[in-house]
Amino acid sequence: MCGIAAFFDPDGRSPEPEWLDAATASLRHRGPDDAGTHIEPGIGLAFRRLSIVDLATGHQPLANEDGTVWIVYNGEVYNHVELRRELESRGHRYRTRSDTETIVHAYEEWGEACVGRLRGMFAFAIWDRPRRRLFVARDRLGIKPLYFARAGRAFVCASEIKALFAFPGVPRAVRMPGVVEHLTLRYVASPGTLFDGIEKLRPGHHLTVDAAGLAQKRYWQVESWEPKHDLDEARALEELGERLTESVRLRLMSDVPLGALLSGGVDSSLIVAVMSRCLGRPVQTFSVGFDAPGPYSELSFARMVARHCQTEHREIVVGVSDLVRELPRLAWHHDEPLSEPAAIPTYLVSRLARETVTVVLTGEGGDELFAGYPKYAVEPLARRLASLPAPLRALVLDHGVDRLPFGFRKLQVVARSARFGDEAERLASWFAGFAGDERDRLLAPPLAAHAAAASAAAAFAVALAETRARRPLDRMLDADLRLWLPDDLLTKMDKMSMAASVEARVPLLDHPLVEWAAGLPDRFKVRGLDGKVLLKRLARRWLPRAVVDRPKVGFTVPLSPWFRGPLRELLADTLLAPACLGRGYYRPEVLRAYVDDHLAGRRDRARELWTLLTLELWHRTFIDPTTLVPPAAPSTTATAGNNPGAGP
C-alpha cells in the first residue's frame, strides 16, 4: 500500500525536513500517489501513498482528534469496519473512512494490545506525544517489512533499508556474519540484515522506544499445533473451503481495480477460483512464463485455469535478455541480494498487472501451511539416513549420490541434508546455497573467521527452541513460517510488487487460517510422497484435475541452462573478476572450480552460483559506490515478450 519512515530522538532534536524528503523520495515506487511529513520536537514521520482505500481522505501522517497520537502506516486491516463500529460505540469519532484511522483509535483504546485486534498485513509507527514514545509494529506473518537502526542517539525505521540511509549516522557497511549466513541460507534471518547496525523487526513483534531505551516484544506466534483437530476428511474439507473463501472475500476490499497473479500452480489457481466465486465479474489474471526449453513454464496450466474460471487473462514471456536488463535495477529495489531468481519475473508480471490494476492477490503460503514442498515428504528418509553409522552414511552419500550425473540435483539435495544428524542443521540445509563442507571449502580465512557467529543452524535452532510444535513435520513447518517465508518469499513478493507500485495480498496467510491449519493432523498434509493433501482435494472441487494432479514444478527460472549458455559470460566476468575475488571472501581456486563444475555439466550448481552472483551485484549497488543512486526507470513497455492479447 505505502512506504513509511520515522525518526525519534529522545533528546528532543527534530529531523531536518530534507532528511524526511530524501527518505520518501527513495520510497516513491511504494507510493506514487501522495506524500506527507509531520515534524515536531524529537519526532519526524514520513509517508508515500499508493491509494487503494478511501481515496479522498486517506492522507498520512494522520492524527487523532487532538493531535496527540500520529501514525504512518503501510498495509491493509481487513476487519477495520467491524473495529470501527466497536470503537465508535466507545465514543471515538472518525473523520475518514480509512483503516489507518481505525489503528489510531484502537491504539488510544487498547494501547499496545491493539495489534492483537488487527486482521491483515501491516507495518506502522505511532507517535504517542503524551508518553513521548514511538510505538512500532509488524504483522504476524511478516507480510509487510519494517527495518530499523540507530542514527547517532536517534532511532529510525522505514519500509525499506535504502530509506534509512537518508538519515545522517546510518552507515552503509557490510555485516560480515550476515554474508556467511546469506551464502548458507540464501537470506539473512530476522532480526539480522546484511548491513551492519540495521535490523528487521521480526514478524509478530512490536517495539517501543523512548528516553528509557528500546524494548521489543513478541505479541503472536502459532500456538495451535496441539491438540490436533478431531475432524474427518469431509468436515475438514468443508471447513477449509469456508475459511479460504472468507479470507479471499476480505481481501477483495478495494476502491481501485484488483486482479490476481496466476502461476498455474495449485495455490494461485485456487485463489483465482475462489475470487471467481466471490466476484460478480471476471477476474483479471496475469501470468509469466519463460523463453527456454524444458519444464520451466507453467503458462499452459495458467491458461487452463483462466479458461475454466473465465478470467480476463494476460501473460508475459521472460527471456534471458529481460533478466540481464533488470538485474541492476532490482538489486536496488530488493535492498539485499535477490536470493530468489523468481524475483525478476515477479517484478515483470507485476508491472504488466499495473497497466490495469493496483492490487493483486497471490498464492504465497500454501506450501508452508499445508506441506507442499517435496522436502516435507522426504525429510523422514533424510532423518533415517542421518542416523546411520558414519562409515555407512559416507558410503551411501559421499561415494554414491554425490557422484551422480548433472541431472540428479534433487537427489543430491536430499543427500546433503541427510549428512546432518542435528535437527537445526538438517532443516537449514534443505533450501541452502552452500552447506557444510562445501561452504567451508569456499570461504577464505577473512570471511571464515565469521562463520562461527553465523552458523547456518543458529537461526533454525532459535526457531525450534521457540516453537510450541513437537511433531517433526510441525516443527519443520513452523521453522519455515518463521524464517523462509518472511525472510525470503514474502520479502521477494513485497519488494518486487511494490517496485511496480502494486499491492500484493496473500489470502492463505490470514492468521485465523494459519492457526487452524497448524492444528490439522499430518495425514491432511503429507501422505507418502504427496504433499498438500487437503488443499489439493479442495482444488479438485473447483479446478481442472489436470492442474492439480501433476508433478510440482514451482516458479523455477531456467538458470541452469542459461548459466551454461547465454549467461555464461556474465557469470564468469562477474564472479571471477578482480573486484569479486579482491573482497577476500572466497578461495579463488574453489570458486573457479564451482563455476567450472556447472559450465562443464559435471554438477548443477545454478542455485549456488545465483547466490554468489547476486551477492556480488549487491556489493556493487550498495557498498562500493560513494553515493547511492537508483538505476534509470524502465521503459513503459512491460517486456519484449509481453503478450497482452492472450485470452482465456
Residues 6 or more apart whose Cβ sits within 8 Å of residue 80: 98, 99, 102
Place of cell 527518505: 23
Task: Please report, for the chain, the start and end positions of each structural domain, with discontinuous segments joined by +.
Answer: 2-218, 221-374+489-648
Tell me how far apart the alpha carbons of residues 485 and 230 are, in angstroms, rounded to a whole number.
28
How much is the pLDDT for 338? Answer: 86
Q: What is the rounded average pLDDT for all residues in the chain?
A: 91
How much is the pLDDT for 648? Answer: 30
Q: Decide: 312 and 269 in contact? Cβ < 8 Å.
A: no
242-273: string of b/e by CB count within 10 Å (b at 16+)?
Answer: ebbebbbbbbbbeeeebbbbbbbbbbbbbbbb
Query: Each residue of 617-643: pLDDT tens digit?
Result: 999 999 999 888 777 655 433 333 333
Q: C-alpha distances in angstroms, 298 versus 292, 304, 316, 470?
A: 12, 10, 12, 36
How much is the pLDDT for 480? Answer: 97
Residue with more model confidence, 401 or 573? 573
How much is the pLDDT for 409? Answer: 55
Reply yes or no on domain 2-218 having CATH 3.10.100.10.
no
Place of cell 546484511: 194
Place of cell 513454464: 297
Query: Each residue of 264-283: pLDDT tens digit?
Result: 999 999 999 999 999 989 99
Quickly list DSSP for 295-363.
TT--HHHHHHHHHHHT-EEEEEEE-HHHHHHHHHHHHHHHSS----TTHHHHHHHHHHHTTT-SEEE--
Q: What element of type H or E holds 594?
A: helix 588-599
Q: Decide: 427 and 479 in contact? Cβ < 8 Å.
A: yes
User: Would you name the residues annotated as active-site residues?
Assistant: 2
Query: Each residue of 70-85: pLDDT tens digit?
Result: 999 999 999 999 999 9
Q: Measured between alpha carbons, how far apart are the two ends of the chain, in Å?
A: 29
Q: What is the mean pLDDT of residues 347-366?
A: 97
Tell me how far apart the alpha carbons of residues 202 and 487 are, in angstroms, rounded to a whole number.
9
Residue 497 has pLDDT above 70, yes or no: yes
Place of cell 529481460: 322
How much is the pLDDT for 512? Answer: 98
Angle at 362 between CA 338 and CA 271, to 5 degrees: 155
Q: What is the mean pLDDT of residues 144-171?
A: 97
Tell me how far apart the alpha carbons of residues 260 and 309 are, in angstroms, rounded to a whole number.
12
Query: Each residue of 401-455: pLDDT tens digit?
Result: 555 454 555 666 676 677 777 899 889 988 888 888 888 999 999 999 888 765 6
Query: Each residue of 5-59: pLDDT tens digit?
Result: 999 999 999 999 999 999 999 999 999 998 999 999 999 999 999 887 766 677 8
Shortest CA distance to 198 belongs to which of 149, 247, 256? 149
**Alpha helix stretches (DSSP H) within 398-507:** 409-418, 423-429, 436-442, 445-448, 456-466, 472-482, 484, 490-499
Give the torsion through C-alpha atoms of 510, 515, 516, 522, to 10 deg.
120
Q: Decide: 348 and 320 in contact? Cβ < 8 Å.
A: no
**CATH for 221-374+489-648 (3.40.50.620, 3.30.70.2740, 3.90.1150.10, 3.40.50.720):** 3.40.50.620
What is the model's pTM?
0.94
Residue 399 has pLDDT above 70, yes or no: no
Residue 553 has pLDDT above 90, yes or no: no
- And the C-alpha cell for 204? 509478530
Residue 62: pLDDT band (50, 70, 90) is very high
How much is the pLDDT for 284? Answer: 98
Residue 205: pLDDT band (50, 70, 90) is very high
Number of C-beta neighbours around residue 584 at 10 A: 10
Shortest CA distance to 43 belongs to which of 82, 75, 10, 76? 10
Residue with more model confidence, 298 or 596? 596
Q: What is the mean pLDDT of residues 119-141?
A: 98
Tell me how far apart the alpha carbons of residues 304 and 325 are, in angstroms, rounded to a whole number.
30
For the chain, the helix, strand and coil percentages under 3-state DSSP, each to the nearest 5:
45, 15, 40
